[in-house]
């Protein structure tokens, strides 16, 4: 085995490991966002109160819940998982900002989901670029 073959084998192994890690994270993140989105869309009293405190009106709860639900579903579609990661990263940037500057509370879970969504978007960037024709 020459050194070039060894390098290619190592890249394949690490890319396979990254793929497995991404799927595990995608499933966990999707489950969290399916649950969160469903709570917002179903009119959970706690969500209604939180969005009342935010001050943008209940339409914003529906928008946020829809974006979370759509992003979660996209994580299960291999060719669209990077788009789902990007969408959820944007949602979580807003959530972290909302916790820090508007409603207060502990932003830890929002930060964890932000980093997990960004990891998915980064890990699936080749698929996203292919979709964009690049």
Q: Whose CA is closest to 121, among 83, 95, 92?
A: 83
Count other C-beta atoms under 10 Å from residue 119's C-beta: 18
**pLDDT tens digits, one per residue of 93-129:** 999 999 999 999 999 999 999 999 999 999 999 999 9
- Give the Cα-Cα-Cα angle 67, 73, 75 (nearest 5 degrees): 105
pTM score, whole prediction: 0.87
pLDDT, position 59: 97
Predicted local confidence at residue 8, as pLDDT: 43
Q: Tens digit of pLDDT for each residue in 81-99?
A: 999 999 999 999 999 999 9
pLDDT in tens, 4-58: 554 444 455 568 889 999 999 999 999 999 999 999 999 999 999 999 999 999 9
Residue 116, number of CB atoms within 10 A of its CB: 19
């Amino acid at each position: 085995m020459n050194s070039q073959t060894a390098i290619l084998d190592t890249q394949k192994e690490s890319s396979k490991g990254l793929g497995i890690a991404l799927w595990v994270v995608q499933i966990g993140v999707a489950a969290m966002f399916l649950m969160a989105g469903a709570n917002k869309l179903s009119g959970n009293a706690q969500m209604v109160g939180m969005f009342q405190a935010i001050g943008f009106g209940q339409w914003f709860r529906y928008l946020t819940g829809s974006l979370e639900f759509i992003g979660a579903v996209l994580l299960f579609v291999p060719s669209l998982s990077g788009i789902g990661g990007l969408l959820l990263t944007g949602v979580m940037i807003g959530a972290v900002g909302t916790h820090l500057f508007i409603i207060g509370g502990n932003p830890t879970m929002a930060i964890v989901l932000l980093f997990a969504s960004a990891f998915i978007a980064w890990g699936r960037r080749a698929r996203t670029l292919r979709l964009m024709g690049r």
